[in-house]
Amino acid sequence: MSFTEEEFLKIKAEKERMEEELRQASELQQSMVPNGYHTLDNLEVFGKLIPARQMGGDLYDYAIIDGKLYFCIGDVCGKGAPAAMLMAYAHAHLGELALRESNPASIIYALNKMASYNNVSCTFFTLFLGVLDLQTGHLQYCNAAHNPPYILSDRLTRLDCDPNLPVGPIEDAEFSLQETVLTPGSTIFLYTDGLTEAKAAGEEELGHKRAEEVLKECIAQRLNPEEIVNRLIETVHDFAKDVEQSDDLTMLAIRYTHS
């Protein structure tokens, strides 16, 4: 198939227009998540979202409301523009619900009602939502089929999480509330499966064991949240080498510093 010069220029202009729209959409998506290292009330927080494509389906966010830190991380099933649209929908409604409700399980239950309505394509996403009392360290949380976070203190542990369903496929799904207490100086580390499922040549995955070894090194070296996230990003890049990133990579580290 051959093109005239006029047809070629039209195709080239359309391609450049689409690339520019995707670039702008990617910038908008990145602007929706907090960027940079933040020292807040009794907290140090750092998060990073690295999409596999120009737009991705991961999300994270945090905000202080009435002396409590609301924070979340999520992963939409899929990639690209459709996943990014669902992520934006969830992100917007999470913020709205958090202003009216402090129970993480109730927030996810309400979000699931919205996401499952007329969901003929059975699209879904995993989500972890926590509410941390900044004076007491009391943490309430609900996990909708997401990867359980790690707690970095004097040792590495995984937060106990009930096997709830993801958000979206089943309208009347129930979501359990769980509770724990963060000790001063401890860090909660949240991530999407772009970390543990990062692939090297030969399709070998980084896996939980390697990630946990790095997190133990972070404890030994007393790294702060930004250093922890960046260390894991370096680990993924060193492991994958020249293999193209296949999934969105998102991490959020929160250190509770109240004494």
pLDDT in tens, 67-123: 999 999 998 876 556 666 777 777 788 888 888 899 999 999 999 998 887 766 677
pLDDT at 22: 47
In a 3-state reduction of DSSP, which class is residue 229? helix
Task: Count the helix, strand and coil residues of the chain and give each as a percent rounded to the nearest 5.
Answer: 35, 25, 40
Tokens for 42, please give them: 């009794």
Mean pLDDT of 35-46: 85
- Listed in sequence order, the residues at least 6 apart from 186 whose beta carbon sits closer than 8 Å to its beta carbon are 151, 152, 153, 255, 256
- In angstroms, the CA 45 to CA 47 distance is 7
Q: What does pLDDT average to over the chain?
A: 85
pLDDT at 14: 56
Q: Tell me: pLDDT of 127 over 70.
A: yes
pLDDT at 146: 96
- In angstroms, the CA 86 to CA 104 distance is 20
Q: What is the DSSP string of 78-106?
A: S-HHHHHHHHHHHHHHHHHHHTT---HHH
For residue 49, give Cα distances in angstroms to 16, 52, 132.
25, 10, 22
Between residues 198 and 1, the one the model is more confident about: 198
In this structure, the dihedral spanned by the alpha carbons of residues 48, 178, 223 and 236, taken in order and rounded to 10 degrees, is -50
The helix (run of H) or strand (run of E) holding residue 189 is strand 187-191
pLDDT tens digit string along 216-245?
Answer: 999 999 999 999 999 999 999 999 888 888
Q: Tell me: pLDDT of 24 over 80.
A: no
Between residues 246 and 53, the one the model is more confident about: 246
Q: What is the DSSP string of 113-146?
A: HHHHTT-TT---EEEEEEEEETTT-EEEEEEESP
Please state the pTM of the whole predicted model: 0.86
- What's at 34, amino acid-wise? P
